[in-house]
Amino acid sequence: MNDYDILIIGAGPGGYVAAIRARQLGLKVGLIERAHLGGICLNWGCIPTKVMLKGTDVLREASGADRLGISPLSPVLDPVKLIGRATEVSGQLSAGVAFLLKKNGVDVIWGAAMLTSAGDVTVTASDAAAPRGALGPGVYAAQHVILATGASPRRLAGLEPDGHLVWTYMHALRPVSVPASLIVVGSGAMGIEFASIYAAMGSKVTLIDIAARILPQEDAEISGLMAKALQKRGIPMHTGVTVGQLDRRENNVTALLSDGTTLSAERLLSAVGVVANVVGLGLEALGVVLNNGAVQTVAAGRSSVPGIYAIGDAAGPPMLAHKAEHEGIACVEAIAGQTRHGISPVPHCIYASPQIASVGMTEAKAVESGLSVRVGRFSLRGNGKALVLGEPDGLVKCIFDAATDRLIGAQIIGVEASELIHGMTIAVSLGATSQQLANVIFPHPTVSEALREAVLAARDGAIHA
């Protein structure tokens, strides 16, 4: 029996961050992991995909270098080297996580975990190699157990992945070669990002989604602009349809869609989202209530069973790394008797070309909620820095509550959208008004000036529109 104040199952962004914060608060912590320090995000998701997107961005920029007076280039992307770079970056970050855990005195316990009671966790051997100094299988006890188990690719009947013809995102990150053609099923963030990556690498990509439009969770106006950008890149889209039948042959697939359309490609990527990893943990036997496939939680990650908590993907959507980190800190601070760490609106980003980033309410959601809104829009075609970068296609959209003048949502599509949304996230979190934001001075020339112009537009005062 090994006693801890807190046992955390899962060393992804939520788990390892929670473990470090708990140690900072003086708690004895055991962090259980079976495969990857840093979790799927660092090793298979967020980081590797961004390396691949960086490679394709450089390829695109080099192909248009003659616009800047540089002799025409004929760049060729080497997918093996690009994947190697992604693996290298992930390895560096994973080693960094191991260093931070050791520095902060977190006990890493290597293996697969199962709860046998509210405070007892049995750890069995894992196939993955354990990091140096990690503890092994055994029974571990703690007053508090936090589930930070992440998520896995959702599997649809008929589209079961085989790693050869039908891929999940994990297969798409380690291709043996770039397919000449690729069908992407699912047009959420994952599907759009991989469609962007593979189109840039030379695949003929086709998007399919059951929803009436791509990116159905995004603002409709922003979704429409992304659809136009993808069409401009030669990516056809079939929306409002499903794959009724999939014929797998030796080196290609043929998909029969519900509207009668037939599509053929070398590979098919099933990018229909993820599901929380809650099966096999012993939760049902302990009476932990699940909701839509994830642990049902209340404030600070508390589940229906005292002493058991869930954060990040295990606690349900939005399934984002930064949300998991924030929830992990809030959870352990509450356990330690501190309540100062609240939960702010969660921004989310799509790292395609162009990028999309948003926070808070969309215009449609605000109207559905009965709010009277004022909307400000500003096209990046009026932004000097965007023109300098050769990226004039984009839009900033701000949603204000007309009754209070407070910013309640913002959406951006265009260059570096993911690096701009934090400003609007701060504003939404603090309840900033359009008057307050209009008084903020933005540096020139920057793409960030477009944020101010959108705010001014909501006040009928945009200068460069």
pLDDT at residue 465, rounded to an integer: 86
If one compares 339 and 56, the residue with the highest pLDDT of the two is 56
Percent of the chain with pLDDT over 90: 87
Per-residue pLDDT band for 79 (boundaries 50, 70, 90) equals confident
- The yes or no reply on domain 2-48+80-152+275-335 and CATH 2.40.40.20 is no
In the structure encoding, which two tokens stand for residue 420, read together? 């701009």
Q: What average pLDDT does the segment 132-156 reach?
A: 95
72: pLDDT strictly greater than 90? no
**Rounded Cα distance, 406 and 430, in Å:** 9
| pTM for the structure as a whole | 0.94
456: pLDDT strictly greater than 70? yes
Q: What is the mean pLDDT of the chain?
A: 95
Q: Which CATH architecture has domain 354-458?
A: 2-Layer Sandwich (3.30)
Q: Is there a catalytic annotation at residue 341?
A: no
Return the minimum-mean-pLDDT range out of 70-84, 90-104, 353-367. Answer: 70-84
1: pLDDT strictly greater than 60? no
209 within 8 A of 216, measured Cβ to Cβ: yes
pLDDT tens digits for range 419-439: 999 999 999 999 999 999 999
Q: What average pLDDT does the segment 25-44 reach?
A: 93
Report which residue type is found at 236: P
pLDDT tens digits for range 314-333: 999 999 999 999 999 999 99
352 within 8 A of 389, measured Cβ to Cβ: no
Is residue 13 reached through a cis peptide bond, with omega within 30 degrees of 0 on the bond before it?
Answer: no
**Rounded Cα distance, 298 and 305, in Å:** 11
CATH H superfamily, domain 166-272: FAD/NAD(P)-binding domain (3.50.50.60)
399: pLDDT strictly greater than 80? yes
Per-residue pLDDT band for 2 (boundaries 50, 70, 90) equals low
Residues of the chain with CATH 3.30.390.30: 354-458
Catalytic residue from among 36, 348, 422, 444:
444
22 within 8 A of 160, measured Cβ to Cβ: no
Residues of the chain with CATH 3.50.50.60: 2-48+80-152+275-335, 166-272
